[in-house]
Amino acid sequence: MDAAFWHNKWAQKDIAFHELQPNPLLVRWLETLPVQPGDRIFVPLCGKSRDIAWLLSKGYRVAGAELSPLAIEALFDELALTPTVTAAGKLTRFSATNLDIFVGDILDLSPSQLGEVDALYDRAALVALPEAMRDQYARQLVKLTDRASQLVICFEYDQQQLAGPPFAINHDELARLYHQDYDITSLQIKEVAGGLKGTCAALEHVWLLSAHRA
Spatial distance between the Cα atoms of 8 and 160, rounded to a whole number of angstroms? 25
Q: Which domains does the chain have, with CATH numbers?
A: 1-13+35-117 (3.40.50.150), 147-214 (3.30.1660)
pLDDT of residue 12: 61
Spatial distance between the Cα atoms of 98 and 63, rounded to a whole number of angstroms? 8
Average pLDDT value for residue range 62-76: 95
pTM score, whole prediction = 0.92
Which residue positions form the known binding site?
Answer: 10, 45, 66, 123
pLDDT of residue 21: 86
Spatial distance between the Cα atoms of 84 and 69, rounded to a whole number of angstroms? 14
pLDDT of residue 19: 62
Q: Are 137 and 122 in contact (CB under 8 A)?
A: no
**Angle, helix 69-78 to helix 3-11, in steps of 10 degrees:** 40
**Angle, helix 131-145 to helix 171-178, in steps of 10 degrees:** 50
Query: Which segment of 9-18, 20-29, 45-54, 88-97 scores lowest on mean pLDDT?
Result: 9-18
Which residue positions form the known binding site for S-adenosyl-L-methionine?
Answer: 10, 45, 66, 123
pLDDT of residue 163: 84
- pLDDT beyond 80 at 3: no
pLDDT of residue 2: 64
Residue-wise pLDDT tens digits, 4-22: 665 566 556 554 555 668 9
pLDDT of residue 1: 45
Please list, in sequence order, all residues whose beta carbon lies within 8 angstroms of the beta carbon of residue 24, skipping any fewer than 6 positions away.
Answer: none
Residue-wise pLDDT tens digits, 138-162: 999 999 999 999 999 999 999 999 8
CA angle at 209 for the pair 58 and 62, rounded to the nearest 5°: 30
Of 159-163, 169-173, 195-199, which has the strongest mean pLDDT?
Answer: 169-173
pLDDT of residue 201: 95
